Amino acid sequence: MNAALPQLSIRDLDVVYESRGSAHHALKGVSLEVRAGEMLALVGESGSGKSTLGRAILGLLPESAHIQRGSIKVGDTEIVGLPERALRRIRGARVALIPQDPAHSLDPVRTIGAQLVEAVHLHEPRSNIATTRRMLVGLLERVGIKEPERRLHQYPHELSGGMRQRVLIAAAIAQRPALIVADEPTSALDVSVQVQIMALLAELRHEMGTAMLFITHDLGLASEQADRVAVLQHGTLCETGETKALFANPRTPYTRRLLADLPLFHEARAPRRAEGPREDAIVVSHLTYAYKGAGGRPGHKAVRDISFNVVAGQTHGIVGESGSGKTTLLRCLLGLITPDSGSVHILGENPARVEGATRRALRRAVQFVYQNPHVSFDPRNRAADILAEPLINAGLRDRSVRAERVRAMLERVQLPPAVLERRAANMSGGQSQRLAIARALLCDPKILILDEVVSALDVSVQAEILTLLETLQRQLDLTYVFVSHDLAVVRRIADTVSIIRAGEQVEHGPTETVFSTPHDDYTKRLLAAIPGRDLIRPAVLA
């Protein structure tokens, strides 16, 4: 492979979004190069402009955006200013895209075969269908799909997420492009699948000598996969360098902050101050629940024989991939569904059995915080209405008393009083998650169930929210059930942990024990799959 040959070179790129007369610079003076066979990771938080850059390379900027200045060269072809027809000959043939969301990136009503054939025919209109299909069978095999002949006749919904992403990769490499733009290719996939997909991308890159621009928000993943890393902040490239050097010795304050906020797996949580033995806030024993199949027949079991307990004032982590039965488990904890067998006791009560006033009291004592706070707020309500609701429910009729409690709560969750007039839609992700926590706390709960509450947040905001949660737990003596797929975050916050797979609890116990000496194969695989597992915080930040 010719390492010296840049397959992508961007010079002084400025991209501007214009809407209603106001202009927003999404990218300012960005310059970078990706050489053949090399992977450059473009990392940045949301709104940094990393996706805009990917779209600009493909010539697919939205109409409201335009390139004000600069050049994008793929091989020796200048993309900027190229007419649409010429761009279409380059897209797919010389630059290919691996998209973010495999679930929605294939046409749902066409077969896999039809879509792959189309991908080839767009650039080789004369090729024979039979030959193309033979070539595609080989290609699908190459990307690790078993029974490729059969897959060609299947529809996207018949494939798993990982398989769909493999199909999309096959479509991307069908024309042997010189450059692949991979836009968060694994962020919608489970970690164990992520590892496989990233390994496949690495193999293909070395085999075909393709240059790869890997757009990601995940510093850990970038540190493992990329040859070089470019850090984008508010549209400006703040640091570029060899991966090892950059992670060992970040030069700019922004990169340093990113690395400081990144939850690292090998950093165990600080041991808690010793306390006397305390009662269990939650006891789950032999919990089993099956969704009812069609016509009242028993369907598949969503959770089987799960047992754990959570000591009051502590945090229990629940780790599981999609489809593991996490949601069913939480619904049992909240008393929304009644277990088929086994039992749940919360603060000594069985949520599925209690009635009337006890039920309402229990409901308020166990509060739920959602992954995506925006959709958990009535879009018509302002923050003031949102925070007033639990107080009104508690029978607090005096406005001034309510206002005082709301004010105190805002202070607690570190939100400025000005947010009261705003709707959640106009808040940042971090602000609205604080608001959701505030609403939950106004019910005076004993237990918070936190469902992937930091997964959608940027690392810096994630760190703030985790710190806030820890502070609140100390101050208010709260018990947490913390659901997450991010093992590094779980290790930081949880005292005990349950690892759940396909409805079964494969392992549980104190977090440190489980993570340092895992017994189950699945736990071991999960731990091995953590992106950036071996990353060590650079000495400068220590």
Q: Which is nearer to other proteins, 452 or 512 (CB)?
A: 452
Hey, is 458 helix, strand or coil?
A: coil
Q: Which is nearer to other proteins, 97 or 489 (CB)?
A: 97
Angle between helix 459-476 and 429-441 (nearest 10): 20
3-state SS track over 301-326: EEEEEEEEEEECCCEEEEEECCCCCH
Q: Which is nearer to other proteins, 1 or 93 (CB)?
A: 93
Q: Which is nearer to other proteins, 185 or 250 (CB)?
A: 185
Closest Cα to residue 135, out of 98, 94, 173, 181?
173
289-321 burial code (b ≥16 CB/10 A, e <16): bbeeeeeeeeeebbbbebebbbbbbbbbbbbbb
The nearest distance, CB 264 to other proteins, in angstroms, is 32
- Cβ-based neighbour number of residue 142 at 10 Å: 17
> Residue 531 is which amino acid?
P
Q: Is beta strand 341-346 parallel, antiparallel or unpaired with respect to 280-292? A: antiparallel
Residue 285: strand pairing partners: 343
Q: Which is nearer to other proteins, 16 or 529 (CB)?
A: 16
Q: Which is nearer to other proteins, 438 or 466 (CB)?
A: 438
Closest Cα to residue 145, out of 120, 132, 162, 121?
162
Q: Which is nearer to other proteins, 93 or 529 (CB)?
A: 93
For tokens 């495999």, what's the residue? 102
Phi, then psi, of 235 in degrees rounded to 5: 85, 0
Binding site for other proteins (CB under 8 A): 58, 60, 63-64, 88-93, 96-97, 99-101, 104-110, 118-119, 122-123, 155, 157-158, 168, 171, 294, 334, 360, 363-364, 367-368, 370, 372, 375-380, 389-390, 393-394, 423, 425, 439-440, 442-443
Closest Cα to residue 366, out of 397, 330, 337?
330
Residues 181/95, Cβ–Cβ less than 8 Å: yes
Q: Which is nearer to other proteins, 237 or 441 (CB)?
A: 441
> Which residues fall within 8 angstroms of residue 443, CB to CB, at 6 or more apart?
364, 365, 367, 390, 393, 394
- Cβ-based neighbour number of residue 382 at 10 Å: 17
The nearest distance, CB 120 to other proteins, in angstroms, is 10
Q: Which is nearer to other proteins, 24 or 360 (CB)?
A: 360
- Cβ-based neighbour number of residue 105 at 10 Å: 17
Residue 181: strand pairing partners: 97, 213
Q: How many CA atoms lie within 13 A of 62 on its CB side?
A: 8
Q: Which is nearer to other proteins, 168 or 535 (CB)?
A: 168
- How far is CA 299 from each of CA 285, 302, 500, rounded to the nearest angstrom? 22, 9, 19
Hey, is 438 helix, strand or coil?
A: helix
Residue 233: strand pairing partners: 236
Q: Which is nearer to other proteins, 141 or 155 (CB)?
A: 155
The nearest distance, CB 349 to other proteins, in angstroms, is 15
The nearest distance, CB 365 to other proteins, in angstroms, is 10
| CA–CA distance, 193 with 221 (Å, rounded to integer) | 13
Q: Which is nearer to other proteins, 121 or 206 (CB)?
A: 121
Phi, then psi, of 407 in degrees rounded to 5: -60, -45
| CA–CA distance, 173 with 412 (Å, rounded to integer) | 52
Hey, is 415 helix, strand or coil?
A: coil
